Structure 1
């Protein structure tokens, strides 16, 4: 997509976060095993499967994956003041637009009903006494089939520098001593080699430092390993 989004002002950001832990409950139509996961477990599943799963936002019927546009200062506000968990993945405004996403409209009840009556409730958030979510600065990617494959992302956000995702099986084989080998056809007891998922190895790692209340950014582990 050939788009010029222009520059961002000081209150804007090109970074959009899909947090795996958030304030508030989750609708009953989200599978229970997902609702019961910790933010770390949800992030682990996303990294290992390379898939984001979409569910209908409150007040809508079309499944969406939701993001928050956050400058460094706004990210600090979300974590410190709104109790958002600093775990998730980071994309860009352009990457969301290329996937058919965009920023939502924050509108009063009457205008929200207009969105809803035309089947576009997933593009709006109702504002009012019982719906105060403008701080989320939300972007959404609608997806009828409920899944968005992840080829690449800007970064992975973690709240603990020592955390690592679960290792998965690769296409390589190793001996009992961990040496690369041709496979069980030639080496008895050969086992698939375990490694961190490609998305983890290929993505920048952003670590939330609670003491300084800011993110410390590291290049992909394939380039330079981050501390932990």
Structure 2
């Protein structure tokens, strides 16, 4: 579905980031094993599995995958001032809307309670006393089954130019003794699956956060394989 979203103004962005690391607590429904992973490890799993896992946000009971809308200037603010880790994947407004996602409403307590009473709390963020989330510019994709399979992403964001994802097995075979390609175990007992970078890494643009310039350095698909 191709949606005509009109013009994006200078305070807005078509770039929507699913960050894999940030300061602060995580919702109780996030498993302990995921809580204990580093941002790099979470991103590694996303790239290998081609999957985003959804969990209910604070104050809601519908599993969602969350994104933050960020222009280049706002991304720098999130990383430098809000201590968001520059690791994650990048989507676009059109893609999120086509998956049933959208931006959340930032509302006072009374209106938030209305959202909650109607089972729509996952579409709202409370901005009453002690609320500290307005800087997020948050978007969410609700997923009752708890996951989103990734056919592609707009880009992969990493915070270290030397980082690469874990290698995965491919459908091709190599002779472990010679290193040459072969037809599989039927040809030689030394056959083993060839390993390579995950498809998502090879087919996506890679954006590297650069602390000095407070911006990203963009590489086309396949450049960092």
TM-score range, shorter chain: over 0.9
What's the offset of the Cα at 1:26? Answer: 1.0
Cα distance in 2 between the residues matched to 1:53 and 1:215: 26
Residue 72 (1) aligns with residue 94 (2): no
Partner of 1:141: 141
Correspondence list, 1:28-43, <5 A: 28-43=28-43
Residue 206 (1) aligns with residue 207 (2): yes
What's the offset of the Cα at 1:28? Answer: 2.6
TM-score (norm 2): 0.98
TM-score (norm 1): 0.96
Residue 168 (1) aligns with residue 151 (2): no
Deviations, residues 67-92 of structure 1 (Å, cap 9, x unaligned): 00000000000000000000000000
Residue 217 (1) aligns with residue 221 (2): no
Residue 48 (1) aligns with residue 48 (2): yes
Cα distance in 1 between the residues matched to 2:29 and 2:114: 25
How many pairs align?
224
State the SS of the aligned residue for 1:201: helix
Partner of 1:130: 130
Partner of 2:183: 182
Cα distance in 2 between the residues matched to 1:210 and 1:113: 40
What's the offset of the Cα at 1:129? Answer: 2.3
Cα distance in 2 between the residues matched to 1:91 and 1:32: 26
State the SS of the aligned residue for 2:66: strand
Displacement over 4 Å in runs of 4+: none
Query: Unaligned regions of 5+ residues in structure 2, if any?
Result: none
Query: Unaligned regions of 5+ residues in structure 1, if any?
Result: none
Cα distance in 2 between the residues matched to 1:27 and 1:10: 32
Cα distance in 1 between the residues matched to 2:53 and 2:39: 14
| Segment drifting more, 205-214 vs 26-35 | 26-35
Cα distance in 1 between the residues matched to 2:111 and 2:196: 50
